[in-house]
Structure 1
């Protein structure tokens, strides 16, 4: 019987190795798997490469992981925001490496990994520092830069609902990078707010099929002072 449900975040994340590349879903603060990030902090893996759309907000979530000093490199599109002080301090003091990737390229590089594509050419970044050292070709009259896939050892995604086979649905903008990251990693752990029985999810509504998911763990949703919601650790 296939049963991918993990009773705790700690059990879902056991075995994460030092030096892993970790793909973390989220767009700004939408769809960030905070409970899984906190679990990774507790788990203790070091020398990590983290792939995310940005470099953390405030002092929680991804920023809290960076603050531990256990992230060697971050690959992202938006490293600097008004509240990215944790990353700013680490970067300015040479304690973290940054690979800056345009957002569309980031999504496509992750998708390419999941699809088994060896790379692709894109005009994005041509003529800038981002193209330095990369192969460039003229295709259909436009200069294009060769980009390589981004593979992950582990993907952490936040979904809305899941079943014991690992099928997932997402809530609106929380969908963002989660689906492509799930396809591009050797191991995918999904946090969900609701576990449903097999057959309850409309097959046409499933965004991430269970074949791409290793573990599913339920995390509660708790109210915030601003009147919104977040997942609890």
Structure 2
């Protein structure tokens, strides 16, 4: 066994110049890294450029979905947020698609996350700061709503439409009682997965609309939370005696 030359450790060699020929020959023939190690597709798995937070910790859970295996990345930030992310490689374009499934504010006070551990058996993520430890579920399938289309559009590998609700997905052989499963993580194609389901035509052909009345020169609360981060909320304003609608530009502080 060879150790690094150091005056502190009190070893036989205080400098590499003192190494015998045997040690030098062994080091030359056994490099720690002969070639650089690159990601599977020779490009970064995840790139964040928005600057809202710094990425501090990462934990990965490998999930078996209907259309293959996915590595779910749980990424802890410096303001107490955990990102639940998957990346999908497009072989035709040789590009990576980043899908943020959830953005969870774990702590009441936005403090840096300094440690993260996963338990695949318990399906839990344990997140730690300097003073607090939090426990987070891998999946909350019921939050994606009660429609097949909503469940499939979420693209969450943990969840699938079972014919009744959006629930935990189990690989073939583990879900005998739930024979009807609809899931498409790679494309999120609800039209194909939910074909023939009740109300599917209405869901896909017409977006959900909410009408809110406001008083001129007064403030009005526009509240609408999308079920998943893949959904988008757009507000339009229609003034009195006007048929035309204008899109409202919303600034989020």
Task: Please confirm whether the aligned pair reaches a TM-score higher than 0.5, indicating the same fold.
Answer: no
- Tell me the TM-score normalised to structure 2 length: 0.23
Q: By percentage of residues, which structure has more helix?
A: 1
Report which structure shows greater RCO (CA 8 Å, sep ≥6).
Answer: 1
Greater gyration radius: 2
